[in-house]
Amino acid sequence: MSLVGPKSQTLQKRAEKVLPLGVNSNFRYWGEGITPYVNKAKGAYLWDVDDRRFIDYRMAFGPIILGHAYDEVDQKVIEEVKNGVLFAMTSELEVTVAEMIAEMAPAVEMVRLACSGTEATMHAIRVARAYTGRDIILKFEGNYHGMHDHALWSTYAPTESYGNHRSPIPVPASSGIPKSMREFIITLPFNDAEGFERVMKSYGEQIAAVITEPCQGNCGAIDPQPGFLELIRKKTEEYGIVFILDEVKTGFRIANGGAQEYYRIKPDLATYAKALGNGYPVAAFGGKSEIMSIIGHGVAQGGTYTNNKPGVAAAYATLKLLKEKPIIATIQKRGKRLMDGLKDIFEDNGIPVAMSGTGAMFSFALGVDSVTCQRDWAKSDHQMYMDLASKAIERGIMPDYDAREPWFLCYEHSDADIDETLNVYAEIVKEVKH
């Protein structure tokens, strides 16, 4: 079996005539002739257009928390859309979903819905600026907060372009971002406590918001060092800064209450998407009533599709299932077994490895013993990671081809799936090593 089959290769050539790179998001492009195209998915599996089945550890970049095409979610969506899919009015179901989010997320008192993580973080940043009357945003290198110009800085660039860690250079992640946006961004290495305190002393009274992922969901699931999130909480309170916790990936995935519950941290605002609707287009941002209540009082926020019934219905069904069943606990248990098994395989073959994240969302960096920030991660053996991913995909196991993207598990991944994955990696690690 090759990385992709002939039908994927043919479809890519056709797609490239009408879609840039032949895809609808740059992250779905793996390269010329090696980009896979999907036909269907169910549970923990997906089938490509060549009808090859894979154990899926991409889970649509994290949204699939229950399983692909999960019956109870789909049934709720079908039930609701029969009465209409979009309205210029608010429905009771939206209110119920907002109540459920506020109940489950420790720091959330009021909520607004959105359609994507990009929208959620964009709105949260505007609200933070409006609340503080300040313009500057502080973010951390390697963190991704959506596709808007306000935060698409120092995400994927070669780390040598970031300058010295004591005085980092914010690097735009795309052409087309206005140069003037640079004056509104401060960047720092993730987990750099000393640097964070130094910047607070110099710029604290000018900063509107500090935004961070709790663990680096777009850079190897790098964990926060002990005390780092607590330091952010302390200093943002000291300087009157809004602390935005970007839970687009961790929310309703690593715990029912997300990273707030898992790390026991209470930000001022939090952003959600992905696992909130098990793959349907729904997102949210929320937090303290004092901050959220300024929306509509001189602060603009809205969107035609923010109450789309498929997304809202899916969020309702997903959250209801998370509350009723030990879904996250089951995922974490199986994922931890997979993490531990992979770690043992690498160590048994004499390959240094730094595991990071939790069972529900994890990654590993090869050739290094520890990783605390993107600058550390950049020193790991990306080529070995990609070589292993290629061989795994050829054998029916699909992690992301990009080492930055974590492995994601869903409720439908079975112990047999974990066993098969470990057996495959035990074989391919030996092949790649030699």
The catalytic site residues sit at: 144, 246, 274
| Long-range contact pairs involving 17-23 (C-beta distance under 8 Å, separation at least 24) | none
Burial state string for 147-167 with b = 16 or more CB within 10 A and e = fewer than 16 = bebbbbbbbbbebeebeeeee
Contact, 142 vs 222, CB < 8 A?
A: yes
What single string gives the DSSP state of each residue in 264-333? Answer: T---SEEEE-GGGGTTSS-EEEEE-HHHHTTBTTTB----TTTT-HHHHHHHHHHHHHHHHS-HHHHHHH
The structure tokens 């519950």 sit at: 261
Q: Which of 8, 67, 65 is nearest to 38 (CA)?
A: 8
Selection from 284, 282, 285 nearest residue 313 by Cα = 282
Strand order in the sheet with 397-398: 38-42, 45-48, 53-56, 397-398
